[in-house]
């Protein structure tokens, strides 16, 4: 586990004020690569990483992904002990431990114990991109400063990255699953960014409330809420209000499933989208573009 301290500037009416913040992270490679949340380091002008051995190092961001809220830092040292990721999947009811620099309290990191209380969760956030998908839900406490720290199983293997709490919730916190995070971390280290296909629309889940309110003809799928006129989906004939139900014959009952499936394709692939417009079921071939970094 690593503690992270940050400095940035806030512009006032007459002058600029320094601001300090704190977060958490953990070592993923022995030669100085540290993982944390993107929202922890976003906008920071100076970043320092503090390791359990007492060493403090200046850090630079070598890559960040705002979609999954992951950032990779680099510090100038070697011979570190890297965290081990769990091989198996996480199940509801598994015991987990969260570690982090909670509330920036002095002394050793805060450690909390809980269970995995849900998988595949979607939460709304005030930050871009507006939603985080496919999260682990836990009752282990995650507080300000814990963000970016590891969630581990009872064998000490990383199963997730502490990410968020909801103000209106009591005893519920969320983490990015290790299976989701690992390929992103590898891409950020190798390329400095994550290369994802672009379909060119934003969507939201079909819910029972929306089915009743708008008299929808399907009870599962992704409603197109915003679409780019220069994007692949628009060129294929998809419009706002249409409901996407399948990609290449695989059902997409919600946005989390849709995005996980979409991001399994490569830029330039052509996929078949099944969607609904009113009471009409339609099919479109969509050639995927490249999402901007």
- 201-205/222-227 β-pairing: antiparallel
Q: Which residues contact 214 (CB under 8 A, 6 or more apart)?
A: none
- The DSSP bridge partners found for residue 2 are 25
Active site residue 94: no
Q: Measured between alpha carbons, how far is 163 from 260 in angstroms, rounded to an integer? A: 19
| Separation in Å, CA 237 to CA 198, 230, 231, 283 | 16, 12, 10, 9
Query: Phi then psi for 206, rounded to 5 degrees?
Result: -75, 125
Neighbours of 20 (CB within 10 A): 11
Q: Measured between alpha carbons, how far is 290 from 139 in angstroms, rounded to an integer? A: 37
Secondary structure (3-state) at 290: strand
Gyration radius from the chain CA atoms:
21
Active site residue 69: yes
Q: Which of 3, 147, 173, 177 is catalytic?
A: 147
Could you tell me which of 150, 240, 249, 153 has the C-alpha nearest to residue 204?
A: 240
Give counts: helices (H), strands (E), the chain: 5, 20
Active site residue 147: yes
Token couple for 279 = 């009471």
Task: Check: CB of residue 23 under 8 Å from CB of residue 41.
Answer: yes
Q: Which of 65, 69, 134, 254 is catalytic?
A: 69
Token couple for 278 = 């009113």
Task: Check: CB of residue 148 under 8 Å from CB of residue 24.
Answer: yes
Q: Measured between alpha carbons, how far is 50 from 41 in angstroms, rounded to an integer? A: 14
Catalytic site residues?
39, 69, 147
């Amino acid at each position: 586990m690593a503690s992270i301290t940050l400095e940035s500037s806030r512009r006032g009416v007459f002058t600029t004020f320094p601001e300090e913040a704190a977060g958490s992270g953990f070592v993923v490679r022995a030669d100085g690569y540290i993982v944390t949340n993107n929202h922890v380091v976003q906008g920071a002008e100076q970043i320092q990483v503090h390791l359990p051995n007492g060493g403090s190092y200046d850090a630079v961001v070598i890559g960040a992904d705002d979609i999954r809220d992951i950032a990779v830092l680099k510090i100038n040292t070697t011979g570190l002990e890297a965290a081990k990721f769990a091989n198996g999947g996480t199940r509801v009811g598994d015991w987990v431990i969260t570690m982090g620099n909670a509330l920036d309290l002095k002394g050793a990191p805060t450690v909390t114990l809980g269970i995995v209380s849900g998988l595949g969760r979607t939460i709304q956030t005030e930050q871009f991109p507006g939603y985080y998908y496919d999260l682990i839900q836990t009752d282990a406490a995650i507080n300000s400063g814990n963000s970016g720290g590891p969630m581990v199983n009872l064998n000490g293997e990383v199963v997730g990255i502490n990410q968020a709490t909801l103000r209106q919730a009591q005893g519920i916190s969320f983490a990015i699953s290790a299976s989701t995070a690992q390929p992103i971390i590898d891409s950020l280290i190798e390329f400095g960014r994550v290369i994802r296909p672009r379909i060119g629309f934003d969507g939201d889940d079909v819910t029972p409330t929306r089915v009743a309110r708008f008299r929808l003809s399907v009870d599962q799928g992704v409603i197109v809420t915003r679409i780019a006129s220069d994007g692949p989906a628009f060129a294929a004939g998809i419009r706002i209000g249409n409901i996407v139900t399948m990609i290449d014959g695989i059902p997409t009952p919600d946005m989390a499933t849709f995005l996980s499936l979409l991001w399994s394709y490569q830029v330039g692939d052509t996929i078949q989208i099944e969607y609904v417009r009113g009471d009409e079921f339609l099919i479109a071939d969509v050639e995927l573009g490249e999402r901007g970094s």
